[in-house]
Amino acid sequence: MNILAIDSLTAALSVSACSLDRSATVTCSGLGQHAERMVDLVARALDIVGVEPRAVQLIACPEGPGSFTGLRLAYAAAKGIQLAAGCPLLPVPTLELYAHGLADWPGAVVAALDAKKERFYLQVFRRGEAATGPLDASEADCARLLDPEERVIVVGPDAQAFLERLRGAFPAIDAAALPTAPDQAVNALMARAKAAFACYTNPVPDHAGPVYVRKSDAEASAT
């Protein structure tokens, strides 16, 4: 079971690799340097677990939403290794990764990722199931999706920032932030890949790409 997972959506670039008996996660910070460091970080993770790039049997990356550059970088690197190794590629919805491990929480889980322009990429989960799709939304939009009686955990890299905004729109909310660290996100990605390894028989087609949710600036200005 040789699996590789790549996450480049935040200021930290994280890569996780595993073989049958070893696993490793390596992370480096430096916004704007992910493209330059990607190859070295992937090589380091694979070297620690003793796997050659061509021996990778499954590769996983975030599907989106997220920053256009970060999504494209992880997806392009994953597809390049996929072609070299002849293995399947597993894209996993980004916001599901942040909610990983909280299926037993009795209230709502809100996954939040800063989308800039005073908005966030958001998704609400209850009991491990998606209660909404991924949204490009404001804190006021999110407040309307929550029950005043339920307890809320906000997760994701920007959990604390979003919770502060949410409290402004929903002062009575019973909520706490549980920010997602870079290694947590890529390890959740690896967990999803391991769970799918034995039965993943529907690899994405060659023309598939990230799910952006929001239009690019060029697309928005053209409409």
Task: Tell me where in the chain the CATH 3.30.420.40 domain(s) lie.
Answer: 3-94+182-222
Assigned architecture for domain 3-94+182-222: 2-Layer Sandwich (3.30)
Q: What is the CA radius of gyration of the chain?
A: 18
Average pLDDT, the chain: 92
Task: Name residue 12's amino acid.
Answer: A
Give pLDDT, residue 104: 97
Q: What percent of the chain shows pLDDT beyond 90?
A: 81
DSSP 88-134: -EEEEEHHHHHTTT-TT-SSEEEEEEEEETTEEEEEEEETTEESS--
pLDDT tens digits for range 190-223: 999 999 998 886 667 766 788 898 876 555 555 5
Q: What percent of the chain shows pLDDT beyond 70?
A: 93
Query: Span 135-144, mean pLDDT?
Result: 97
Q: Does the pLDDT at position 4 exceed 80? A: yes
Asked whether the beta carbons of 82 and 53 are under 8 A apart, the reply is no
User: What topology does CATH give the domain 95-179?
Assistant: Nucleotidyltransferase; domain 5 (3.30.420)
Asked whether the beta carbons of 87 and 68 are under 8 A apart, the reply is no
Residue showing tokens 């942040």: 98
